[in-house]
């Protein structure tokens, strides 16, 4: 099933697909999926836990509590929406408005869900008027996955590291990797 994405771009090794919607009409919808995943209006993903109930997912020394996890086909959707500061994205300049820490934290959270559940997992983020899917390249996944232990040590965490900590630790490493589209170049 091909989804009707409005735009897509690469940012630091992550392919971002964006779907824009009218927040006034979508926010009034009662159904969780219709309200938070408007691009999937014809699909039927189902929440794995009741709305507002966050489950912890752990893989290696990484622990994440996504805003929602939904079953969809044979895989999962890891949805983040708590980092939404309410600002509207301009469909013509959305990539320049995208926060790199948001992208990386969503990817890391989906990694934890995928590892814990042993299922393919899509990383998605819902902003005030945009839904994004983040598809990391193999070098990004390798960088994030291979630095969990070092990030835990860096942050002086005895047992686990959070998505925010791992994303923050890996961001400078990703910026230094050759061949990845840098945020500054993508926004130009």
Q: Burial of 118 by CB count in 10 Å (0-12 exposed, 13-18 middle, 19+ buried)?
A: exposed
**pLDDT at res. 167:** 97
Q: Can you list the residues of the chain whose pLDDT is less than 70?
A: 1, 41-42, 83-84, 181-188
The whole-angstrom separation of Cα 150 and Cα 179 is 24
**pLDDT at res. 160:** 94
- Cβ-contact 130, 19 below 8 angstroms: yes
Q: Return the domain boundaries, the chain.
A: 7-177
What's this model's pTM, rounded to 2 decimal places?
0.92
């Amino acid at each position: 099933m091909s989804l009707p994405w409005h735009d897509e771009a690469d940012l630091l090794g992550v392919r971002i697909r964006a779907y824009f919607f009218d927040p006034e009409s979508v926010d009034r919808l009662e159904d969780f999926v219709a309200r938070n995943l408007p691009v999937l209006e014809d699909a039927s993903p189902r929440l794995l836990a009741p709305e507002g109930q966050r489950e912890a997912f752990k893989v290696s020394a990484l622990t994440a509590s996504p805003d929602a996890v939904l079953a969809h086909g044979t895989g999962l959707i890891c949805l983040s929406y708590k980092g939404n500061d309410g600002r509207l994205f301009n469909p013509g300049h959305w990539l320049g408005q995208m926060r790199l820490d948001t992208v990386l934290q969503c990817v890391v959270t989906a990694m934890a869900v995928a590892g814990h559940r042993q299922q393919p997992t899509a990383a998605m983020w819902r902003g005030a008027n945009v839904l994004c899917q983040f598809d990391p390249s193999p070098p990004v996944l390798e960088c994030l996955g291979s630095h969990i232990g070092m990030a835990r040590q860096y942050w002086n965490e005895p047992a686990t590291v959070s998505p925010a900590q791992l994303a923050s630790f890996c961001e400078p490493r990703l910026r230094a990797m050759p061949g990845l589209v840098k945020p500054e170049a993508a926004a130009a």
